[in-house]
Amino acid sequence: MNRERKAPDVVIRRLPLYLRALELIDHNESPIISSEQMAQIIGTSAGQVRKDLSYFGVFGKQGVGYQTLALRDELRRILKLDREIRVGLIGVGNLGEALVRYHQKSPVHRPLQIVALFDTDPKKIGRKIAEVEVFPLEDLEKRIAEFKIKLMILTFPAVNVQEVVDLCVKNGVKAFLNFIPASIKVPFGVKLHTSDVTLELQSLAYYT
């Protein structure tokens, strides 16, 4: 399963859906899963499942399918979820706090560990949200190094965003999940995913 080739971002973003489907299956009852079963669970086609997995050298047996446990473990490896990944969050407002609480309660949140929160409000510094401490934003550089943070969630007001992101990148952050309605640039080799609730709602309005 090591004959990998570069996969498009849209394929990478579907892999967690496949992994979630596999984690919901009792492998004792279903030791083998077909591409048709996977497709039905996540709402795509069997051909799409096979094509996506083939990017990573993952091929099921024709007429049989995939070994459930082996495929689950392989997807974890591909997504680098076979090791702990330390996550930080900047902006402990309503959205930031809700994200932390939701993530910490999720039964599948490990190995993605939120280890540090950052804010500029003195009243929030030192608080713990779902057992995760809030640090002053001015300590960002020091805490990234201390906690070995590789992924950062951005939920703070759109002020000095690029400066903050640049500082994170400089200190080793490799990926960002951004909820800020702002234009952000990251260098090659660093990944940025932006989620704008307003834009999502506007696109859904078309179907109403």
Condensed to tens digits (0 to 9), the pLDDT of residues 82-133 reads 999 999 999 999 999 999 999 988 766 578 999 999 999 999 999 999 999 9
* Confidence band, pLDDT 50/70/90 cuts, at residue 143: very high
Output the average pLDDT for the chain. 92
CATH dotted code for 85-200: 3.40.50.720
CB 112 within 8 A of CB 82: no
Judged against a pLDDT cut of 50, whether residue 15 lies above it is answered with yes
CB 77 within 8 A of CB 104: no
Bond from prior residue into 111 cis (ω within 30 degrees of 0):
yes
Class (C level, CATH) for 9-78: mainly alpha
Q: Indicate the length of the chain as a whole number.
A: 208
Average pLDDT for residues 20-49, to the nearest whole number? 91
Residue 6's pLDDT is 82
Give the whole-angstrom CA distance, residue 59 versus residue 35: 10
The full set of domain ranges for the chain reads 9-78, 85-200
Residue 45's pLDDT is 96
Residue 172's pLDDT is 98
Judged against a pLDDT cut of 90, whether residue 159 lies above it is answered with no
Residue 4's pLDDT is 59
Mapped to the 3 state alphabet, what secondary structure does the chain carry? Answer: CCCCCCCCHHHHHHHHHHHHHHHCCCCCCCCEECHHHHHHHHCCCHHHHHHHHHCCCCCCECCCEEEHHHHHHHHHHHCCCCCCEEEEEECCCHHHHHHHHHHHHCCCCCCEEEEEEEECCCCCCCCEECCEEEEEHHHHHHHHHHHCCCEEEECCCCCCHHHHHHHHHHCCCCEEEECCCCCCCCCCCCEEEECCHHHHHHHHHCCC
Model pTM greater than 0.85? Answer: yes
Judged against a pLDDT cut of 90, whether residue 51 lies above it is answered with yes
Judged against a pLDDT cut of 70, whether residue 184 lies above it is answered with yes
* Confidence band, pLDDT 50/70/90 cuts, at residue 5: low
Judged against a pLDDT cut of 50, whether residue 1 lies above it is answered with no
Residue 110's pLDDT is 74
What pLDDT digit, counting tens, does each position of 37-48 carry? 999 999 999 999
Q: Return the amino acid letter for 187.
A: P
For the chain, the distance separating the N- and C-terminal CA atoms, rounded to the nearest angstrom, is 44
Average pLDDT for residues 17-35, to the nearest whole number? 90
Judged against a pLDDT cut of 70, whether residue 154 lies above it is answered with yes
Residue 109's pLDDT is 59
Give the whole-angstrom CA distance, residue 132 versus residue 148: 15
